[in-house]
């Protein structure tokens, strides 16, 4: 699901950007839901993505090497 402009404006990192810039970003931003304890980020190469925590307390959030 695409992120709404008003949602993006809630983040301090983004709220100083002009509305026209946020309007360009909004269609590219996606809302994703993850299960509890599901790996969201993996240690390794640099990711081209930026993530924001919208719900939860972030406890246990850290980078863990994926098992192969």
Count the residues in the chain. Answer: 68
What are the distances in angstroms from CA 65 to CA 4, 53, 62, 68? 32, 20, 10, 9
Residue 30 sits at the vertex; the CA angle it makes with 27 and 31, to the nearest 5 degrees, is 135
Predicted confidence at residue 57, as pLDDT, reads 66
| Dist. CA 14–CA 19, nearest whole Å | 10
Q: Using one digit for the tens of pLDDT, what is the confidence trace for 22-46?
A: 999 898 888 888 888 787 777 788 8
Q: What is the pLDDT of residue 63?
A: 47
Give 58's DSSP letter.
Answer: -
pLDDT digits (tens, 9 = 90+) for 44-65: 888 888 888 777 766 665 544 4
The pTM of this model reads 0.62
């Amino acid at each position: 699901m695409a992120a709404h402009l008003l949602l993006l404006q809630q983040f301090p990192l983004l709220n100083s950007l002009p509305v026209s810039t946020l309007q360009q970003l909004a269609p590219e931003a996606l809302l994703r839901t993850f299960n509890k304890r599901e790996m969201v980020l993996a240690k390794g190469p640099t990711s081209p993505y930026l993530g924001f925590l919208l719900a939860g307390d972030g406890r246990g959030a850290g980078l863990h090497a994926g098992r192969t």
